[in-house]
Structure 1
Amino acid sequence: MSTFSLGTFAFTRKLWRQLANRPRSDSPLHYSPSQNSLWWHWMDKRIGIIPLPVYCLVVICLGILLTLGKISGDISIMIAILAVCGFTCAELGARIPGLRRIGGPVIVATFLPSCLVYYQLLPNELTQSVKDFWQTTNVLYLFIASVVVGSILSMDRQALVKGFAKIFLPLAAGSVIAAIVGTLTGMAFGLGAHHTFFYIIIPIMAGGIGEGAIPLTLGYADILNLPQGQLFAQIVPAVMLGNLTAIICAALLNQLGKRYSRYSGEGRLHASDTGILAKHADASTVTVEHIAAAGMVAICLYMLGMLAHKLIGLPAPVAMLFLAVLAKLTYAISPKLEDGARTVYRFFSSTVTYPLLFAIGVTIAPWDHLMAAFTVANIITIVVTVVTLTTVGFFVGRWVGLYPIEGAIINACHSGMGGIGDVAILTSANRLQLMPFAQMATRLGGALTITVAIILLGTIT
């Protein structure tokens, strides 16, 4: 037998004797706090949701796989990449003085990856794996379905109805006043009323990229007989910079709510709204099966939304939202499933948001388009438009009985990049439970904005 084998055998036998002579306890495995306190101390430190030792091991493994060129599109590998990168960016944003008070974690998690991709500072293999995963899984819609359905099913029924009824006036007033003020601002900086209104103001409030900028520019192309790609490239910078401004506004509103609590509902729209914080008396009896069943409810409602989109053209997230509200109001979902839906919502909002924002930055937030909008006239016009929209939401929301902070945040979502923008804005404001109302502002508000813009352009052309 070799010296190494003899040494290994002796060490194993010594270790076994020590374990055999260890004081016994009632539990199968007994660890004294003094022996494990240091390790537990480090395991309790986290980067996002990832224990620090696990984070280090995952980073080492990913580094080795990248070096060997063995990064694959397996779901486990992609979860590791997105979690490590997303929570690293969020942690960095949370530690930068000044930036952390204006939505630093969200801004860094979304736009730093975009910058790194543009300057080719991320490994090409990693970037391509993230893009392939994004395109093949459409994970954004799973996130939206889980958050929207989970938050709706967790709300009080009366508060839900009152909330939807009360958001329309602040949203309508904010849209009209922001359009007027933004157009006047653009004219003051020499951009021209036509260009400012149709190529800056309308794209900001059109509802994002996929369901906003694309149908908007298709309508423009038909009326003006211009290439749709040319028009799309012209308005995308306004959409992205408007979304960034809304993120900052939401973060500042969150800080304002912490300082002046009378203006904030902490995620509740009005005083009678118990919102996502409401709990049933038997919430402790919710099982894993209830949580899984609630997840299937969310997926089922999204599939019905997709069918509605194919049959009548209504956007799938909007159809899903209406169906979830209908299920809630008709008592179609049992209390235990509602508690399961609450857990689904909390899981996705706490664990998936920053990895998702990192994927967004890598795939659909082009850095060069964002930089193209950085002219003094464009920046001031866009900022004035979004701030006006948000401010009107604050005061009109207060007038109709909403908490002013929440009313302003819902209006800010009207200037976001669709579902992606809603995730970023509400995360920055720490109010993901407002997702159903944000979707209404973004989707329906965007559809109405596009319709009005195309009618106006066709009339004056």
Structure 2
Amino acid sequence: MRGETESRAMKPAESPSETLPGGIPSRENPGNAASVPPAAPEPGAEFDRPESWTRIMGLPIGWFALLFGVILLCAGLGVLPNTMLAGFAVVILVGAALNWIGGRVPGLRNYGLPTVLCILTPAILLHLGWFPAALAENMEIFTDGSEIGFIDFYVASLIAGSILGMPRALLLKAGARIAVPLIGTIITVFLVVGAVGAALGFGLRDAVLFVAAPIMGGGVGAGIVPMSGIYSEQMGGDAGAYVAQLIPAVIIANVLTIFCAGIFNGITYKGQQFFVGFNGNGQIVRVEGSTDQFKAKAKPTSGSFNVLVVGLTLAATLFLAGSIIAEFVPGLHAYAWTILLAAAIKIFGLMPASFEDAVSSWFGFVSSTLTPALLVGISITFFEFDELGRLLSDWRYPVLVALAVVVAILVSGALGWLVKMYYAETSIAIGMGMTDMGGTGDVAVVSAANRLELMPFLQVSSRIGGALVLLTVSLLIPIIG
């Protein structure tokens, strides 16, 4: 009775959505196909529009091919300059082409295929000698060169926009409750994976820093990239070498996480309750009220020129402020201080809402247009097949990766249940949100779990949880590094 009472108490005052995108019946009303669908789009829906087959990056395929041909001709003639302008052209066109190809494959496109193609294809072609050397050199200098620093450009935009664009109520009212499974899961995964890694002879340090941390770090752009910079600064060595060691764990964990999300959907689709508080049918908190106030705004996809330039300037200045603090307070990377500054500004309301919206609009532009560009740059610059082969040849590595995913899912659900959250929803939102591949992984997980309404909470896991992981490794390296 208690579980039924709690479930009824959590129903929003307004009529809930009863069908999912694509006509899939919801858990609350499996038979009603006439109900209003939720606002969240079906993963891969953008690829179903008829014009998506004839346009790439909004351009007719013929025009896109012409632009692509120009960069290939420049590379072939040896006149491709290693400048910011040329770098933008190369990574954007290569990334857009691979992202478009991945989006043409039904089913797999919903589970991160465009992202995987962007990460793996350039590296594979380069390894086989089929990728133009001039393009590869240009992409390396543009992505990681100290004079251009596309990575800093992207990460600063992502950190500032994702945090400042998050609902304040989500940080304040739900923050304390979510913090328990979020922080507890990070600590437990680090301890368990570290201990098992030490027991298996893999090494506590390597298990924590190169398995647990990247898996829990929030994906590639927001996790691996800043994490590699932290490792390079605090342990020495090249950041690119660290990226090559960190990426495999994230890719493997993402596949396992999506598979687990499908299992959760299968065992809860008809509202099954294995114990009181197990299944919230899409609701995450077992208290009276609605979670509507915690829903994130739709990510902006456009903005006026002055709004975008204000967003860019604020994001860049916030990163510079983090760099200043890092200079005087060593021990934490500038990325970590940028995260803390953005969170403080949001929590204490230190910035006008119009400024926050400007940063969020800039983040929307960068994340929606430049993520494939970043991924192909990372692929060429950092991905090493020799390193990948070395890692996978050791049976302990995939075992530890799987262990991290399973522990995160089980522990997050248990801790969420203890603080009046539903076990299944917390496992999906926190455990799976932290072990997937960031933004693309979040979409795939909520789709596989049939719980699109949990997207804001997976964003918290990916962004805030990933930020906590960056802070944690910054503090751990002096101890175990």
Query: What TM-score comes out, normalization by structure 2 length?
Result: 0.67
| Corresponding residue to 1:392 among 388, 411, 416 | 411
Corresponding residue number in structure 2 for 1:174? 185
What displacement does 1:215 show? 6.4
- 1:217-296 to 2 correspondence within 5 Å? 239-249=246-256, 251-252=258-259, 262-263=281-282, 271-277=292-298, 287-296=304-313
Corresponding residue number in structure 2 for 1:146? 157
Answer yes or no: is the 8 Å Cα contact 1:179–1:197 preserved in 2.
Answer: no
Q: Percent identity?
A: 19
* SS, match of residue 81 in structure 2: coil
* SS, match of residue 327 in structure 2: helix
Answer yes or no: is the 8 Å Cα contact 2:110–2:444 preserved in 1.
Answer: no
The answer to whether residue 321 in structure 2 is matched with residue 312 in structure 1 is no
The answer to whether residue 431 in structure 2 is matched with residue 408 in structure 1 is yes
Amino acid paired to 1:353: T
Segment drifting more, 424-433 vs 321-330: 424-433
Corresponding residue number in structure 1 for 2:204? 197
Q: Kindly tell me: are residues 217 and 344 of structure 1, through their superposed partners in 2, closer, same or farther at Cα, counting changes over 3 Å?
A: closer
What displacement does 1:58 show? 1.0
Amino acid paired to 2:429: E
Amino acid paired to 1:244: I
Amino acid paired to 1:442: G
| Counterpart Cα distance in 2 of 1:320 and 1:87 | 29
Corresponding residue number in structure 2 for 1:31? none
| 1:297-350 Cα shifts (integer Å, max 9, x gaps) | 111111101111111023222222222233334433333333323321211111
* Greater share of residues in helix: 1
- 1:96-111 to 2 correspondence within 5 Å? 96=105, 99-111=108-120
Q: Kindly tell me: are residues 449 and 432 of structure 1, through their superposed partners in 2, closer, same or farther at Cα, counting changes over 3 Å?
A: same
| Counterpart Cα distance in 2 of 1:428 and 1:380 | 23
| Corresponding residue to 1:338 among 335, 356, 359 | 356
What displacement does 1:366 show? 1.6
Q: Kindly tell me: are residues 312 and 213 of structure 1, through their superposed partners in 2, closer, same or farther at Cα, counting changes over 3 Å?
A: closer
| Counterpart Cα distance in 1 of 2:313 and 2:480 | 43
The answer to whether residue 365 in structure 2 is matched with residue 347 in structure 1 is yes
Larger Rg: 1
- 1:50-61 to 2 correspondence within 5 Å? 50-61=59-70
What displacement does 1:278 show? 8.7
Q: Kindly tell me: are residues 447 and 55 of structure 1, through their superposed partners in 2, closer, same or farther at Cα, counting changes over 3 Å?
A: same
* SS, match of residue 67 in structure 2: helix
Corresponding residue number in structure 1 for 2:277? none
Corresponding residue number in structure 1 for 2:88? 79
Q: Kindly tell me: are residues 99 and 394 of structure 1, through their superposed partners in 2, closer, same or farther at Cα, counting changes over 3 Å?
A: farther
Q: Kindly tell me: are residues 175 and 329 of structure 1, through their superposed partners in 2, closer, same or farther at Cα, counting changes over 3 Å?
A: closer
Answer yes or no: is the 8 Å Cα contact 1:386–1:412 preserved in 2.
Answer: yes
* SS, match of residue 373 in structure 1: helix
| 1:395-443 Cα shifts (integer Å, max 9, x gaps) | 5346544853331244326xxxxxxx75675576696996675354334
Corresponding residue number in structure 2 for 1:444? 468
* SS, match of residue 275 in structure 1: coil
Amino acid paired to 2:430: G
Q: Kindly tell me: are residues 114 and 425 of structure 1, through their superposed partners in 2, closer, same or farther at Cα, counting changes over 3 Å?
A: farther
Q: Kindly tell me: are residues 253 and 381 of structure 1, through their superposed partners in 2, closer, same or farther at Cα, counting changes over 3 Å?
A: closer
| 1:254-273 Cα shifts (integer Å, max 9, x gaps) | 768999694488xxx96531
What displacement does 1:361 show? 0.6
- 1:106-185 to 2 correspondence within 5 Å? 106-134=115-143, 135=145, 136-162=147-173, 164-179=175-190, 182=193
Segment drifting more, 48-57 vs 353-362: 48-57
* SS, match of residue 155 in structure 1: coil
What displacement does 1:351 show? 0.3
Between the two proteins, the alignment pairs up a number of residues equal to 387
The answer to whether residue 397 in structure 2 is matched with residue 378 in structure 1 is yes
Answer yes or no: is the 8 Å Cα contact 2:140–2:381 preserved in 1.
Answer: yes
Answer yes or no: is the 8 Å Cα contact 1:148–1:436 preserved in 2.
Answer: no
| 1:12-41 Cα shifts (integer Å, max 9, x gaps) | xxxxxxxxxxxxxxxxxxxxxxxxxxxxx9
Amino acid paired to 2:317: C
Query: What TM-score comes out, normalization by structure 1 length?
Result: 0.70
Amino acid paired to 2:434: N
| Counterpart Cα distance in 2 of 1:68 and 1:359 | 22
| Counterpart Cα distance in 2 of 1:105 and 1:344 | 23
| Counterpart Cα distance in 2 of 1:263 and 1:137 | 44
Corresponding residue number in structure 2 for 1:356? 374
Corresponding residue number in structure 1 for 2:276? none
